[in-house]
Chains A and B, each alone.
Chain A
Amino acid sequence: MGMTIAEKILARHAGKSTVKPGELVNAKVDMVLGNDITAPVAIKEFRRIGVEKVFDQERIALVPDHFTPNKDIQSAQQAKLLRDFAREQELTYYFEVGRMGIEHALLPEMGLALPGEIIIGADSHTCTYGALGALATGVGSTDMAAAMAIGEAWFKVPATLKFIFNGQLQPWVSGKDLILYLIGKIGVDGALYRSMEFTGELISALSMDSRLSMCNMAIEAGAKCGIIAPDQVTFDYVAARAKRDFTPVYADEDAEYEKVITFEGADIEPQVAFPHLPENTRGISEVGEITVDQVVIGSCTNGRIEDLRTAAQIMKGKKVAKNVRVIIIPGTQNILRQAIQEGLVDIFLEAEAVVSTPTCGPCLGGHMGVLAEGERAVATTNRNFVGRMGHPRSEVYLANPAVAAASAVTGKISAPEEVM
């Protein structure tokens, strides 16, 4: 019997000719990632193991992106733990503020996440790299510690759900909308413990930035990973970036899927997820009148250049609504520079939006845009749980950059057509 992409990648990394869903395997990992929240715990656990050196100095990435530039003294202490550990271990891929970006925007950009690889990260949105045809999944700090020591992690081989997207993208629809629509259909545990494969003509037509947004939110359906088979879009993206050789992996013709679910592009308009779960989705035409206090455009989900271009296209020559604060956060230093060179930052400043240095910041209620009691935000981020962006009685609505930008202009959650 043939294997799915996830099964085949796991088999190769576990040194087996075949694996089956439910089987538990130890597999080699190609990259181990941690940030300023999760790596401090991992470093402490690494010390307990009793090994002197990490398994490979070129296969560990430490990215202080959550509470940096340091938001308070305690956060500064946490970030310092990463810096000191990176120096002690002489890690190649420690990214200091100034070279840092939001980890899941940064690693693909740096060519550190590649087709056919296994990447584990002590951050749930590590699944982003499934867009490049990798098996990438979030783990905890102890997993990260163990992998830093031995270069392996334990995995339960997931069953795979196949999602086929047919047809054409509707206006202003992006990868973000496809994944929100999917989560709305199957729920926040609809893919629990599963691998998801995204395929179909609509996926083939997606840009890499859009694919990264889509796979980023696989975890929001409970999935272990969300994978898109490598194609020309993938190879064009990694060609000039790849830091290692890689072997693309494809599903076998006779691979066994737990379920195959088909969606039609014609049914998918821009999506908005209402508080307090990503599954509470509605099409933009069914949202109604919802005023907002804050708009956030950025995050590991939607802080890439294409996202900023879309937002700028909508905000060009317009002003942010009187009662709204707009915070725009490019995902990496390179994206920020590109946004400056393309004149996007000028458009945002002219519109009276804030443009920030890369940081996860407000997405998890850390800093740079925390909400007060009773406030409401529309954000291009990935979670709208209770208290996610600040006060436990604040609200987050999730949307794509076009809807967020239109909402910035009108002061209420709006379709892009309303302002174009």
Chain B
Amino acid sequence: MQGLVWKFGDDIDTDAIIPARYLNTSDPQALAKHVMEDADPTFPQKVQPGHIIVALKNFGCGSSREHAPLAIKAAGISCVIAHSFARIFYRNAINIGLPILECPEAAEKIAAGDEVRVDLNSGTIYNLTKDETYQAAPFPSFMQDIMDKGGLIGYVQWRLQQQ
């Protein structure tokens, strides 16, 4: 996947990703209309399918609302790269099949507007604008299994079939 980067700072919380005032629905497309708007009011209008979010530490802290990764995914974001993720956001992203990568070097060096190419299998991130390559740690095989089955629901279906 390859796309233009939106850059955010530390501790982007789930209220910034999707404020609770919009949580009277769980329709991903309706949520996507307001995604990130309290962090950057122009984001919902300007984000294009394939764009990539890069953030610093503790992305997705706060609430357990799965509406946050759902809204990001529905807005067409292809991948989120961060220095670190809050733990519930991290597992939600894996469970719903939103690609994420933890890579402090990429989070620090990639700037807003850079063009970035991501290889999820190898965890390699190539910055076309700066001609730099960063390496994210690969996922443990257990999580890779969940992602390979399209998320946790696919994984549970597979487990039930095994029984």
Give me the interface of B with A, judged by CB distance under 8 Å. Answer: 11, 13, 15-16, 19-21, 23-26, 38-39, 57-58, 61-67, 69-70, 84, 86-88, 91-92, 95-96, 140, 142-143, 146, 151-153, 155-157, 159-160
Contact = CB atoms under 8 A, between A and B. Distances in A.
Closest 10 CB pairs of A and B: A140-B92, A74-B24, A189-B58, A140-B66, A142-B95, A364-B20, A24-B142, A138-B64, A124-B64, A141-B66
A140 B11 contact: no
19 contacts: A24-B142, A124-B62, A124-B88, A126-B64, A140-B69, A140-B91, A142-B95, A142-B96, A143-B92, A188-B11, A193-B87, A222-B61, A364-B23, A364-B63, A366-B20, A385-B62, A386-B13, A386-B16, A388-B20
Contacts of A6: none
A192 interface: yes
B160 A74 contact: no
B127 to A, nearest CB: 25
A162 interface: no
Interface in A239-288: 277
A40 B19 contact: no
Nearest to A194: B87
Contact of B64 (A78, A139, A145): A139
Contacts, number: 146
Interface stretch (A44-52, A111-119, A291-299, A336-344): A44-52
Interface string A352-379: 0000000000001110001000000000
Interface in A70-102: 71-72, 74-75, 78
Given A224-B87, A364-B20, A386 B160 contact: no
Interface in A377-396: 383, 385-388, 390, 392
A278 to B, nearest CB: 10
Contact of B62 (A71, A78, A146, A383): A383
Interface in A14-46: 24, 37-38, 40-41, 44-45
A107 interface: no
Nearest to B16: A386
A314 B106 CA distance: 52
A51 B160 contact: yes
Given A49-B156, A140-B92, A388-B15, A78 B87 contact: no
A8 B87 CA distance: 21
Q: Which of A44, A45, A150 has the most CB of B within 10 A?
A: A45
B87 A387 contact: no
Contacts of B157: 49-50
B64 A67 contact: no
Contact of B88 (A72, A140, A149): A140
Interface residues of A, number: 53
Contacts of A189: 11, 57-58, 61, 84, 86
B137 to A, nearest CB: 12
Contacts of A75: 24
B20 A154 contact: no
A19 B62 CA distance: 28
Contact of A142 (B63, B84, B151): B151
Given A50-B157, A142-B96, A67 B24 contact: yes
A54 B156 CA distance: 13
Given A189-B86, A192-B87, A142 B62 contact: no
Contact of A149 (B38, B140, B156): B156
Nearest to A393: B38
A38 B66 contact: yes
A219 B151 CA distance: 24
A41 B84 CA distance: 26
A396 to B, nearest CB: 11
A77 B105 CA distance: 45
B63 A124 contact: yes
A395 to B, nearest CB: 13
Contacts of A7: none
Contact of A150 (B62, B91, B159): B159
A177 interface: no
Contacts of B159: 150
